[in-house]
Amino acid sequence: MIERVALELRAGNRFLVTAHLSPDGDALGSMLALGRILESLGKEVLLYNPDPVPRRYRFLPGSDRIARVLPAGERFDATIVVDCGDAKLLGPSWPGREVTGTVIVLDHHRTHVAFGDVVYRSDACAVGEMVFRIAERLGAALDREAAECIYASMTTDTGGFRYSSTTPDALRIAANLIERGVEPWKVSWHLFENWPMARLKLLLEVLGTLEVHASGRVAVLQVPRRIIDAHGASSDMIEGFINYARMLEGVDVSALVSEAEDGTVRASLRSVGRVAVDRVAAEYGGGGHLAAAGCTFPRGTTLAEATRRVVEALVAALDGSPELPSGHWSRR
Ligand SMILES: [Mn+2]
């Protein structure tokens, strides 16, 4: 499928590049790198995401160029959607075909609800890795800025090159990117450190909600909207808090259940690798990866109710999970 993607990218002249709503480091890094690569080939590119770029990703070169509204009357030869396994994650303002042209989807999630005309899926650690492959295939030059965006996408999705998706290929690509001028510490500092005070205070409160179930195998954190508001924080600041629940000794799965600004309740799920949390998320219409997934409960669901349902599903998934020898770490 990568050949078909390369073909479409060579053929078109005007591209829309977008990703899922609430974009993370992979979504943004992949969008920005792909945009630069296409421009280096003389193409016109509009970068688009209805949601704002979270502050910690604003160091990414070109992040200030992402439009939140599509100018009226735009038409594209093709639209590239990155890091998105389900069209519903594109939101209600997703334009029609007369605007998008051919829809090309680049995705690496295990759960994927087919959409688009050309779909390139792989088990790459990040879509950024796939963008690197596409650049190679196109024979496009990769400047330091594009390299930094790809490196940031891979750093985000591998948790700083720690998760089981950190393959020899991923590290070889990372090495290649560093040779192009990427500074690993600079990227990691922006992604994982440099916290605003509001975020640290929010974390303190969220940690206070910790509950464990199933003899300590399930750990759950909750984020009521009011504590986000009380600290003048924003929803994107809770990204990664779930890892604190997973790091607890004896935990197999963790969940972070939060009230979103739009009245829905979102659940993020993480696993140490024994339990496939994407299957649990799929029970509630969500999806993701084996060890990292999420789902959204409709408006009107209370935080307590969503939490109860998530815990129930996670405990059930534990029962169904095979007893693996300790020290087993599943690949994705
Ligand atoms: Mn991703």
Q: Could you say which of 168, 192, 216 is where a domain stops? A: 192
Q: Could you say which of 172, 192, 212 is where a domain stops? A: 192
**What is the distance in A from the centroid of ligand 1 to the CA of 73?**
31
pLDDT per residue over 97-147, tens digit each? Answer: 999 999 999 999 999 999 999 999 999 999 999 999 999 999 999 999 999
**What is the distance in A from the centroid of ligand 1 to the CA of 230?**
30
Model-level pTM? 0.92
- Strand bridging mode 292-297 / 287-288: antiparallel
> Number of structural domains, the chain?
2
Question: 330 lies in a domain?
Answer: no
Question: Is residue 201 domain-shared with residue 188, that is, in the same domain?
Answer: no
- Residue bearing the bigger pLDDT, 92 or 328: 92
Question: 298 lies in a domain?
Answer: yes
Helices marked H in the chain — which ranges?
A: 2-11, 25-40, 97-100, 127-138, 144-157, 168-179, 184-192, 197-207, 225-230, 242-246, 277-283, 303-320
Instruction: Look up the CATH number of the domain holding residue 180.
Output: 3.90.1640.10
Give the pLDDT score at 331.
Answer: 41
- Taking all residues of the chain, what is their mean pLDDT, rounded to a whole number? 94
In percent, the amount of the chain with pLDDT more than 70 equals 96
* Structure confidence at residue 328 as a pLDDT band (50, 70, 90): very low
SS3 21: coil
Question: Is residue 251 domain-shared with residue 108, that is, in the same domain?
Answer: no
Instruction: List residues, by chain if needed, whose CB lies under 5 Å from ion ligand 1.
Output: 26, 83, 157
Residue 254, pLDDT above cutoff 90? yes
Question: Is residue 206 domain-shared with residue 140, that is, in the same domain?
Answer: no
Question: Is residue 180 domain-shared with residue 205, that is, in the same domain?
Answer: no
**What is the distance in A from the centroid of ligand 1 to the CA of 83?**
5
Is residue 292 within 8 Å of 264, Cβ to Cβ?
no
**What is the distance in A from the centroid of ligand 1 to the CA of 220?**
23
**What is the distance in A from the centroid of ligand 1 to the CA of 158?**
9
Question: Is residue 115 domain-shared with residue 155, that is, in the same domain?
Answer: yes
Question: Is residue 13 domain-shared with residue 144, that is, in the same domain?
Answer: yes
Question: Is residue 149 domain-shared with residue 9, that is, in the same domain?
Answer: yes
> How far apart are the C-alpha atoms of 152 and 225, rounded to whole Å?
29
**What is the distance in A from the centroid of ligand 1 to the CA of 70?**
24
Question: 290 lies in a domain?
Answer: yes
**What is the distance in A from the centroid of ligand 1 to the CA of 201?**
27
**What is the distance in A from the centroid of ligand 1 to the CA of 182?**
20
Residue 231 per-residue DSSP state: T
Question: 165 lies in a domain?
Answer: yes
> How far apart are the C-alpha atoms of 285 and 266, rounded to whole Å?
11
**What is the distance in A from the centroid of ligand 1 to the CA of 33?**
14
Question: 232 lies in a domain?
Answer: yes
Question: Is residue 296 domain-shared with residue 219, that is, in the same domain?
Answer: yes
Is residue 312 within 8 Å of 305, Cβ to Cβ?
no
Q: Average of pLDDT values for 286-302?
A: 95
CA distance between the termini of the chain: 22
Question: Is residue 179 domain-shared with residue 264, that is, in the same domain?
Answer: no
Q: Quick one: angle between helices 144-157 and 168-179, nearest 10?
A: 150
**Which residue from 25, 3, 327, 21 is spatially nearest to 190, judged by alpha carbons?**
25
Q: Could you say which of 165, 192, 219 is where a domain stops? A: 192
Question: Is residue 13 domain-shared with residue 141, that is, in the same domain?
Answer: yes
Question: Is residue 169 domain-shared with residue 142, that is, in the same domain?
Answer: yes
pLDDT per residue over 137-180, tens digit each? Answer: 999 999 999 999 999 999 999 999 999 999 999 999 999 999 99
* Structure confidence at residue 325 as a pLDDT band (50, 70, 90): very low
**What is the distance in A from the centroid of ligand 1 to the CA of 178?**
20
pLDDT per residue over 35-67, tens digit each? Answer: 999 999 999 999 999 999 999 999 999 999 999
**Which residue from 50, 249, 62 is spatially nearest to 148, judged by alpha carbons?**
62
Give the pLDDT score at 319.
Answer: 80
Residue 234, pLDDT above cutoff 50? yes
Query: What residues make up the domain containing 288?
Result: 197-320
Question: Is residue 210 domain-shared with residue 180, that is, in the same domain?
Answer: no
Question: 326 lies in a domain?
Answer: no
**What is the distance in A from the centroid of ligand 1 to the CA of 231?**
29
SS3 218: strand
Residue 323, pLDDT above cutoff 80? no
Give the pLDDT score at 318.
Answer: 94
> How far apart are the C-alpha atoms of 295 and 306, rounded to whole Å?
10
Instruction: Look up the CATH number of the domain holding residue 236.
Output: 3.10.310.30
Question: 325 lies in a domain?
Answer: no
Question: 27 lies in a domain?
Answer: yes
